[in-house]
Structure 1
Amino acid sequence: MTTVSSAHFRAHLSEHLERAQREPVIVTSRGVRRRAVLVSADFFDRASAALGDAPYAAPPRSTQEEVMDEVMRFIQDL
């Protein structure tokens, strides 16, 4: 797996597209935060098929969202 900055990714796009055919390419922001992972089309197709109809899962809910849902259910039961 290769990790590159977003600036390097933009400057060398074709190189990274080729590399993604062999291994995932992690694109970082400011060298720290992972922004994206570039994978081959074949890998994406296999992953999408394995996940079914929803290749993009909903983001995890925050603790605050979970607590608010519990409070709302409690209020509705009153």
Structure 2
Amino acid sequence: MATQLKLPTRVNRDSDSFEKYQTYIHDMFMNLCITNGPIEAINSKIKVWKQTTYSYRNDSHFRDRILLMTRLYDR
């Protein structure tokens, strides 16, 4: 008679999450050309601008600068 091993709840939760998202994980490895690099680059630039431009009085001016510098304005 085999003894059943009792796993911690965290392991059970992780395995449930893996089963839930298994198709997405598989697709991620099959489509290696998809990357979040451009978004990460924009986030990095925004963090640097936040550190150097702490003197903006108006938040909308800072937002406008971000949109201009990242070319996200609608034309």
TM superposition score normalised by structure 1 = 0.28
Q: Which has the higher helix share?
A: 2
- The structure with more radius of gyration: 2
Q: Which has the higher strand share?
A: 1
TM superposition score normalised by structure 2 = 0.29
